[in-house]
Structure 1
């Protein structure tokens, strides 16, 4: 029997503290859950943001004025550090992980896409956990993803995933800003359901990361339309991935 496949994307806001530093215990909780799923024949592709923040921790404030070049430098420095965290944590479980960096053009039809399919299929067949991220060091302008949510969606389609889980620091989609007392959590959203006007309120005042909730809704609907159930949930909550896979009513589920 083939193993179940899921894609989990963890956003920057989940991984950092108020000082914009990577919180290793958060990463550990993610790895703990992925390891438990692995023991139950569920293979996970982890799409992880955070390389730029990890790089900034090492380099400090850069004097590079160009924002794009500064991001490239931070990400190039931070990606090995981020992978060192994941490697050590998975190793403690006797598991192996691999770094897979990509640009948007790698998903275009043709040889690049076939190479991506072969890479993921090879890793998953060997029981290796792919840790994916945008190749920020080389992806600029037309080769950039809108954010890692888009990358996660493309990977989910590429490997025929059973579900996509997008983890942020908010419980899901609300009918307004989550801090408002009259806002309600939407436990399920259908692809054709017009909730965009609510989601715009959620993004007001949000600054960390490139993808806001409006972007997440667009990506989630696009993914769900391809018969891949997609979930938006709070990655800082204990066992959130396990609860979603177990079918518990947490976060927001987006379905066809």
Structure 2
């Protein structure tokens, strides 16, 4: 596998939170450490990060008196976005690196001026060695302009910047032939875009802490990206050095490709 020059990394809420649904700073630091390692090798990363809603709940610890779920989520996200960026800004600064926040709604990726502006923004940041941190603009997103989840956003960003690789980090090792906790389940190491493996997916039922993505979504997004010749992986974000290992061609997680490589 040829070394990529641009990769998109999506980190889910379950990766960055503990069992009390609080952001774990050490997890974010390990994530940035790997991005910094790749940066030294002239591999640029775009980070698609969840966590703003959880971060907002940490700030508004007493909750809010808003019954409407959508408005409540908007409030938590709007409050949490600066907190998440402060986490990332401080950690990247420790590595002598710079980061930037890029918020978007789904319509920003439609052909036209919005898309052109998005491309110019990402190209400008990447050319200056600045790590873009992307997230959905929950504060203004409406139903018609909302991403299915951040997996979809990551896939669209990967296509937008002509990324070589897309890594979807979750809290399981990859795609399994059954529930990940079942002893009889085996991890599927390689899937092609046209391979029918959806019947293997068994959602855990726990959901993703304040997230919307599940394995079914990840597989669909991964297949779509693979068809666009973006090598895609689903892997455990809590595994030590997982991103660098994937880039180095070490067999980690589930790889999704356009065609069988054998």
Query: Does TM, scored on the shorter chain, surpass 0.5?
Result: yes
Matches for 1:72-111 after TM superposition, within 5 Å: 72-111=74-113
Contact 1:6–1:164 (8 Å) recurs in 2:
yes
> What is the aligned counterpart of 1:226 among 203, 207, 228?
228
**Partner in structure 1 of residue 35 of structure 2:** 34
Deviation of 1:203 (Å)? 4.1
Which whole-Å deviations, capped at 9, do the CAs of 1:100-147 have from their partners, x for residues lacking one? 000000000000000000000000000000000000000120110000
**d(CA) in 2 for partners of 1:44, 1:127:** 9
Matches for 1:203-242 after TM superposition, within 5 Å: 203-208=204-209, 209-242=211-244
Contact 1:178–1:202 (8 Å) recurs in 2:
no
Q: Secondary structure at the match of 1:231?
A: strand
**d(CA) in 1 for partners of 2:101, 2:228:** 26
Gaps of 5+ in 2: none
Q: Secondary structure at the match of 1:132?
A: strand
Matches for 1:115-130 after TM superposition, within 5 Å: 115-130=117-132
> What is the aligned counterpart of 1:254 among 244, 250, 256?
256
Q: Secondary structure at the match of 1:139?
A: coil
Number of corresponding residues: 254
In the superposition, the TM-score normalised over structure 1's length comes to 0.97
In the superposition, the TM-score normalised over structure 2's length comes to 0.95
Matches for 1:101-250 after TM superposition, within 5 Å: 101-199=103-201, 201-208=202-209, 209-250=211-252
**Partner in structure 2 of residue 20 of structure 1:** 21
Which whole-Å deviations, capped at 9, do the CAs of 1:191-220 have from their partners, x for residues lacking one? 111100111x13434353201100111110
**Partner in structure 1 of residue 54 of structure 2:** 53
Deviates more, 1:205-214 or 1:39-48: 205-214
